[in-house]
Amino acid sequence: MAVDTRVGQTIKHHDEEYKVIGTRPIRHDGLEKVTGEARYGSDINLPGQLHGKVLRSPHAHARIVSIDTSRAEALDGVRAVITSAAFPDPGDKLTGGGEAPGLPLKFKSANMLARGKVHYHGHAIAAVAAANPHVAAEALKLIDVEYEVLDPVLEVWDAMKSDAPVIIEDLYTARADGTTAEEPSNVAAEMLYEVGDVDAGFAEADLVVDREFTFGVVHQGYIETHNATAHWLKDGHLHVWCSSQGAFTIRQELADLLDHPITKIHVVPMEIGGGFGGKTTAYLEPLAALLSRQTGHPIKMAMDRADVLKATGPTPGGYVRVKLGVTNDGMITAGYANLAFDAGGYPGSVVGAGCRCVFAPYNMPNAKVEGFDVVVNKPKTHAYRAPGATHAEFASETVVDEICRTLDIDPVEFRLKNSAKEGDWQLAMPPYPRIGHIECMEAARDSAQWQTPLETAPGKKRGRGIASGFWFNIGFTSSVTAKLNSDGSVTLLEGSTDIGGTRTSIAMQFAETLGISVEDVDPIVADTDSVGQTDVTGGSRVTFATGLAAHNAANDMKDQIVEGLADLWDVAADSISHADGTFSANGKSATVGEAAGLLEEEGVFPIGKNTVTPTREGGAFAVHIADVEVDEETGKVEVLRYTAVQDAGVAIYPPYVEGQMQGGVVQGVGWALNEEYVYDDDGHLLNASLLDYRMPTALDVPNIETIIVEVPNPGHPYGVRGVGEVPIVPPPAAMANAIHDATGVRMSHLPMSPARVQAALAAEA
Amino acid sequence: MRAIQYAAPSTVEDAVAILAEHGSDARMLAGGTDLIVQVREDARDTGVFVDAKKIPELMDLSVNADGSTTLGAAVPCHELYNNAQFAASYPAVVDAARIIGSTGIQGRASVGGNLCNSGPAGDTIPPLIVHSAVCNIAGPDGKRTVAVEDFCTAPGRNVLADGELLVSLTLPKPPAGSGSHYLRFIPRNEMDIAVVGAGASLVLDGESITAARISLGAVAPTPLFVQAAGDALIGLTADEDSFAVAADIARDAASPIDDMRGTIAHRKQLSYVLTQRALRGARAHAQGGSPTNGH
């Protein structure tokens, strides 16, 4: 029998045996996605719909002196033109919902349509509704905007200078000690995390390595561009169809931004062509809603690729400094890190998450981490797969590698000796529960790649690198409603946008719990009117949290079936046992299917439901190994071989876990080698296309070998840990360490583009 | 909304008449892989699209009595690498035809279109230059010829006047003992535009170089014919020392800019490295081998 090389290795650290969990059934959404029948946002077409388009700023930083829309409004076929004046005054309200609630609503509102000032190149200025997209595009050219162009501030190190132009005139730093700065600046917030005595720790060290790293802005690069269709009915009901990671989040944002009752807003999640954290907030939805209210027609809007790159939420560029102290025998005594991330045009970067992850793989008795959230003239940044952790751990894992080289300690041994484990300190969080970093490192050490010496080739510079990664994952709120049909099948409604195949991983947990086959569960991603509160698909939370809701809903359904059978069989409910999907008591028995039929005759139709906000998400570790070849003459880096090891807790549907691991590696390799926003001195984004924003192609990555490690999460009945994000964390560091192994050069900027690698090699020579 | 016109003349004369009537508003359409994208992205305002593909001379690929080859301006790339005789005679042109876009793009994109687009990084232009190709141009005042190295005048601009079109290219018969190679540097392995491209042709008499031409892409406002680099090789042995001499001259001749695709320093270095590699490939071909296409 031929070996299926698509199936990776799994190493279990538990004895649980499951019937459904861990199997590889055909995914529920597979057929309609490969046939093209699956419906995405742009497939929505409503009778009488108009088309909306957005005018964007040609400047990075400017005051809007005036906007005259009269020529556009006069164009035949134009039905409405709106500017920021169409939005209600946000006052001092704060945002709700989403991944980062509690920021001033005025910033989010001004990011929808610029209010008085342009904060970045591509900032939305006005929106038009017209009979067709061509007229709408023509109308944009007839909107007259007078700008007073201002000097842009593009990098955090410039924006933090005391004489830097202040982008938001009334922004006062929220300091780590709870006080507020008296003078406005571009620093929105400072944060400080501390444990132990960092000065004493460094004093104990025999070796201190202190390095600085910088980062370009990168985009999530989802293939489907943002789109939204909105219909505002005369009675105030607003229906929205969109591509988003969270329908409930969009509903909350629309309620906030439009000051409209949440009960009147109905958001339908469509299939999604990727999000990776970038589709956790609204862009077009409020504009389509306002244009619909104004015209009385449904409004359809879609971004093109340039809009997406210019004006959605890439993840920050910035600066990270990491300083580590170790003893000569390789024990870490202290760590210090300083992270400054660009928030983009408005406050709220992911720097806090980066701060919490920077030293996470290690047991570190003394640590201090400072973070700075800095406003610059770039698009408002957002989450991207383990947001902030990739930057932070690129820095710390590079420093760890340098320490290992300096002390001549094996990088696996160093990490095993210093690894965080259950009960150890965790920055700004409770001590670690059972975690699997050591098990991942051992699996990496024992992997085929690590055990196979790197093949040398004459005239080629080859090297191997290893790096760890951590992401804490999140819980948030999820709901499931499951209806037992009379034939024993189950219709399962859940509210989590299915990005990574979660429909099936949720259905599998339900099926396991109730004792039925996964083919008998029909999972449906429901709209905001049809299922309970469900937060955004993000933080690697869905298989964990919505899966937990499914488990609980299955138990709820089981209890209802037991109650119904108890009446029918005239026995006490607690005398009915349930095993392998069969209920039995007193010599009587019924499968779930039989029970459904019996109960139907009695007029009983069980509906299992659950809403849950779990907090024991567990955290996820990964260890990656990269083999690279560096062309010394051109600086080009080729990935020769790659192994990704990851603690999945328990892999509910292993092919999705392997797919997440491989997808994270591909994005991480892109970030490591080529992806970067390129700006000119005036703050214009020069590479707003997928030709020049260079994501990897299929020819740029090898087959990625996967090893799933199962150290069950004690915070979940099936041991689930989120798996979607952590695999993007180790690749840049693993690649940098491999480049160093190949050439002796340490790279300190992402991406490590051919030009930068070649320049570093030339400088070394 | 702007209406556009589409014309599909069947003779060069008709095409010239249409182009002359509409001036700069008209544009020849071969494969459309540049033009249609540019118009859709608002990078070019074209009102009249004049389809080249119904005109026999523009679709012609044939060997002439003197051994030279006529390459019609709208002949798509795939016809070149599927033509054994052409591929054997003009390997550098075929190297370029194989790496422009994907297979699907190569079914439409033409060498003539690539030249008329006149991008500094156009992959087929250095190969045409090292093969001493000549442009056959028709216009309201009749026909004229221009060497390919004199065709492009600035990024996106060339010597074609309003009413003129590129009919075909004439590629001289390569002498015995000749070989050529083109390669480019791209950060990824596909779907990219050259950061630097380099083409080289060599004529060998045994180990000795009797003629050489070298051309670089993406290091100046137009594809660069580095005549001095080729001339310096004449009379030298085709070895690494000689190639280093030519590569030094090529690096000095390059006057690149910093942009989103590359830096000045990197492009200078690549001019040197790629010139060496192009020469190695040309030598291998001249000696009957096949060049290794290392990036």
Residue that finishes a domain, picked among B171, B191, B226: B171
**Mutate: best of B260, B276, B280, partner A, most A CBs <10 A:** B260
B142 vs chain A: nearest CA distance in angstroms? 39
pLDDT on residue B42: 85
How would you write the pLDDT of chain B (295 residues) with one tens digit per residue?
678 999 999 999 999 999 999 999 999 999 999 999 999 888 889 999 999 999 999 999 999 999 999 999 999 999 999 999 999 999 999 999 999 999 999 999 999 999 999 999 999 999 999 999 999 999 999 999 999 999 999 999 999 999 999 999 999 999 999 999 999 999 999 889 999 999 999 999 999 999 999 999 999 999 999 999 999 999 999 999 999 999 999 999 999 999 999 999 999 999 999 999 999 999 999 998 655 443 3
Supply angle C-alpha B59, B63, B64, rounded to 5: 110
Which residues of chain B lie closer than 8 angstroms to A306, CB-CB? 41
**Mutate: best of B102, B191, B268, partner A, most A CBs <10 A:** B191
Q: Which residues pair with A646 in a beta bridge?
A: A622, A708
Tell me chain B's radius of gyration from C-alpha atoms: 19
C-alpha separations of B208 from A225, A441, A709, B131 in Å: 57, 58, 62, 19
Supply angle C-alpha A410, A742, B99, rounded to 5: 140
Cis, bond preceding A751 (omega within 30 deg of 0): yes
| Residue A660 pLDDT level (bands cut at 50, 70, 90) | very high
* Sequence-distant (≥ 6) Cβ neighbours of residue A365 within 8 angstroms: A195, A196, A201, A333, A334, A425
Does residue A22 sit at the B interface (CB-CB below 8 Å)? no
pLDDT in tens, A702-741: 999 999 999 999 999 999 999 999 999 999 999 999 999 9
**Beta-sheet pairing, A50-56 with A299-302:** parallel
Residue type, A661: M
Residue that finishes a domain, picked among B149, B171, B193: B171
- Two domains, one topology: A1-14+430-473+618-765 and A478-612: yes
pLDDT on residue A2: 45
CATH class of A1-14+430-473+618-765: alpha beta
Report the percent of chain A where pLDDT is more than 90: 96
The domain of B136 spans: 5-171
Boundaries of every domain in chain A: 1-14+430-473+618-765, 42-151+225-301, 478-612
ipTM of predicted assembly, 2 dp: 0.94
pLDDT on residue B289: 66
What mean pLDDT value characterizes chain A?
96
Superfamily of domain A42-151+225-301: Aldehyde oxidase/xanthine dehydrogenase, a/b hammerhead (3.90.1170.50)
> Rounded to an integer, what distance in angstroms lies between the CA atom of residue B151 and that of residue B168?
13
* Sequence-distant (≥ 6) Cβ neighbours of residue A574 within 8 angstroms: none
SS3 of residue A425 by DSSP: coil
A606 in Cβ contact with A484 (< 8 Å): yes
C-alpha separations of A67 from A115, A121, A311 in Å: 11, 17, 20
Check residue B91 and give left, alpha or beta (phi > 0: left; psi -120 to 50: alpha).
alpha
| A674/B189 Cβ within 8 A | no
SS3 of residue A74 by DSSP: helix
pLDDT in tens, A273-322: 999 999 999 999 999 999 999 999 999 999 999 999 999 999 999 999 99
pLDDT on residue A3: 45
* Sequence-distant (≥ 6) Cβ neighbours of residue A396 within 8 angstroms: A322, A324, A335, A337, A358, A359, A733
Same domain? B164 vs B252: no
Number of domains in chain B: 2
In 3D space, the residue among B133, B145, B130 whose CA is nearest the CA of residue B227 turns out to be B130
A346 in Cβ contact with A240 (< 8 Å): no
> Rounded to an integer, what distance in angstroms lies between the CA atom of residue B110 and that of residue B30?
7
| A135/B273 Cβ within 8 A | no
CATH number of A478-612: 3.30.365.10
Nearest chain A alpha carbon to B42: A137
Same domain? B132 vs B15: yes
In 3D space, the residue among A221, A273, A55 whose CA is nearest the CA of residue A677 turns out to be A221
Same domain? B50 vs B140: yes
**Mutate: best of A56, A309, A634, partner B, most B CBs <10 A:** A634
Which residues of chain B lie closer than 8 angstroms to A132, CB-CB? 1
pLDDT on residue A160: 98
> Rounded to an integer, what distance in angstroms lies between the CA atom of residue A41 and that of residue A227?
6
Mean pLDDT of the region A208-231: 98
Which residues of chain A lie closer than 8 angstroms to B262, CB-CB? 755
The yes-or-no verdict on residue A683 having pLDDT over 60 is yes
Instruction: Look up the CATH number of the domain holding residue B239.
Output: 3.30.390.50
| A633/B273 Cβ within 8 A | yes
Same domain? B92 vs B117: yes
The yes-or-no verdict on residue A94 having pLDDT over 60 is yes
Mean pLDDT of the region A655-684: 97
pLDDT in tens, A569-617: 999 999 999 999 999 998 999 999 999 999 999 999 999 999 999 999 9
B294 domain-assigned: no
* Sequence-distant (≥ 6) Cβ neighbours of residue B150 within 8 angstroms: B159
| B193/A700 Cβ within 8 A | no
Same domain? B120 vs B204: no
Residue that finishes a domain, picked among B171, B202, B229: B171
**Count of beta carbons in the 10 Å neighbourhood of residue B236:** 16
Instruction: Look up the CATH number of the domain holding residue B37.
Output: 3.30.465.10
- Burial of residue A374, with CB atoms counted within 10 A of its CB: 0-12 exposed, 13-18 middle, 19 or more buried: buried
The yes-or-no verdict on residue A99 having pLDDT over 60 is no
* Sequence-distant (≥ 6) Cβ neighbours of residue A763 within 8 angstroms: none
pLDDT in tens, A142-172: 999 999 999 999 999 999 999 999 999 999 9
Strands, E assignment, B33-133: 48-51, 61-63, 69-72
In 3D space, the residue among A295, A376, A348 whose CA is nearest the CA of residue A73 turns out to be A295
Same domain? B79 vs B129: yes
**Count of beta carbons in the 10 Å neighbourhood of residue A174:** 17
pLDDT on residue A1: 39
Same domain? B76 vs B122: yes
pLDDT on residue B41: 86
pLDDT on residue A97: 63
B293 domain-assigned: no
